[in-house]
Structure 1
Amino acid sequence: MRLALFDLDNTLVDRTEAITRWAQEFAAAKSLGPAAVDWLIKTDDDGLLPKPDFFAQARAHFGLPESAAELQLRYERRYPSHMRCPAAVLDGLTALRTAGWRLGVVTNGLTTVQQAVLDHTGLTAHLDGWCISETESIRKPDPEIFHRTATRCGTDFTDAWMIGDSPEADIVGGQNAGVPTIWISRTRTWPGSLQAPDHTTADIGAALELLLALPPSVHR
């Protein structure tokens, strides 16, 4: 059984747009001004800064009365509603399943947020299984989380691929797990210090087309 494992943020969904919309909403609600939006996006660091640290810094920077924990809780409730998964991506996933693929998501992040994103975007109906790092107490690039996701999808790594935008978490993680990889470059240059992915595409649409074009006999 063929298996495609996908990252979530900035792979199947556009996290950059979502965090921008959330930052605009947050800044407007707190009357922080337009410069606050840029500060929030920069400090978020593409989601790499842990949320307790992010909201502790935001509270101190803007002099907010709420605790960092309260700010994070409100974020967890609001942020998923800003996520979108384009219809073309959902159609591509449907085409893969029709072609006999099993589909899974491997994502680092908070369970409440990532599960809400999967539900809100309609992705859960297009997947056979998924693993969220907080739930699993293990994070990409550890190969174990990839193997767990394959099991959740009801298959193994006999003919599997990993697709994602993070060189370290997704591509190195997929390589550590022993599967071929597709890097979503988002116009970035591959870090020369890392082993190159098997394929590079600019966006998820091209990656889905690549998977659909693979001959049925390809195995790893």
Structure 2
Amino acid sequence: MGPPQARRCLLRLVLFDLDDTLVDLAGAFRRWAVEFAAAHGLPGGAVPWLVDAGRRGPKDRFFAAVGARFGLAAPGELWAAYRARMPELVVPRPGVVEGVAALRSAGWLVGVVTNGQVDNQVGKLRGTGLLDLLDGWCASGEAGVRKPDPSLFRLAARRCGWRGGVGWVVGDDPVLDVVGGRAAGLRTCWVGAGRPWPGGLAEPDRVVEDTHLAISGLLAEPV
């Protein structure tokens, strides 16, 4: 048996995606859209449009489109208000907080790798109680690269103190999480939520219905 530091470097690692994997972003976004439409007196049909448009691309582009469509000035200020509000609206997926704590107790290194601005993403982690359970995290807004770039996963792994051994990525996006995680040399678990795996992509190592089941599978891994 090697020295304690060497043993720690070979511990098992899991990197979780944040939005719609650890936390229910879709539900929070719908609640935000209802609030936003009411606060700005937007016309009927605005909420479905906001929810649909908000699924695609970076949020700076989304708020530029919102400003143009509804005649709202200062899209940068709208985006800043959104970043401040969303951490107050998100809730963790069922069993996630307890599951992450169980992984840590079982000797796993646990991290988060996420696209997004630091204030928004860290606010979600702090507000849901997840931040204090992590060994490390990495957000694209401060790293200068976005998933599926494998360098973002490697940076998150280093911040967790991992230097080798068994490593997993758990996420809900086939390209950002599975393709990116595999390119970084990690095993992959896709949270499919009943969706079919898209054609043309190499399949993940594991497919589960929800994040709680992904965590249960990791806890059942042999040491």
Q: TM-score, normalised by structure 1?
A: 0.93
Matched residues in 2 for 1:142 and 1:157: separation? 19
Matched residues in 1 for 2:44 and 2:27: separation? 16
Identity of aligned residues (%): 46
Structure 2: state its 5+ residue gaps.
1-10
Deviation at 1:190, TM superposition (A): 0.7
Matched residues in 1 for 2:141 and 2:168: separation? 23
Q: 2:89 aligns with which of 82, 94, 112?
A: 82
Q: How many residues align?
A: 213
Q: Which residue of 2 aligns with 1:133?
A: 140
Q: Indicate whether 1:100 and 2:100 are aligned.
A: no
Amino acid in the other structure paired with 2:104 = R
The answer to whether the 8 Å contact 2:13/2:167 transfers is yes
Matched residues in 2 for 1:139 and 1:63: separation? 30
Matched residues in 2 for 1:209 and 1:127: separation? 18
Q: Indicate whether 1:185 and 2:188 are aligned.
A: no
Amino acid in the other structure paired with 2:148 = P
Over 2 Å off, 4+ runs: none
The answer to whether the 8 Å contact 2:168/2:189 transfers is yes
1:139-187 CA-to-partner distances (Å, cap 9, x unmatched) read 1112111111111111124111111011111001111011111000022
Instruction: Say what the alpha-carbon RMSD is for the aligned residues.
Output: 1.2
Q: What secondary structure does 2:161 align onto?
A: coil
Q: What secondary structure does 1:200 align onto?
A: strand
Structure 1: state its 5+ residue gaps.
none
Q: What secondary structure does 1:139 align onto?
A: coil
Q: Which residue of 2 aligns with 1:32?
A: 42
Q: 2:63 aligns with which of 55, 77, 90?
A: 55
1:106-135 CA-to-partner distances (Å, cap 9, x unmatched) read 001112211111111111111100000110
Q: Which residue of 1 aligns with 2:31?
A: 21
Q: TM-score, normalised by structure 2?
A: 0.92
Amino acid in the other structure paired with 2:120 = V
Deviation at 1:10, TM superposition (A): 0.6
The answer to whether the 8 Å contact 2:88/2:124 transfers is yes
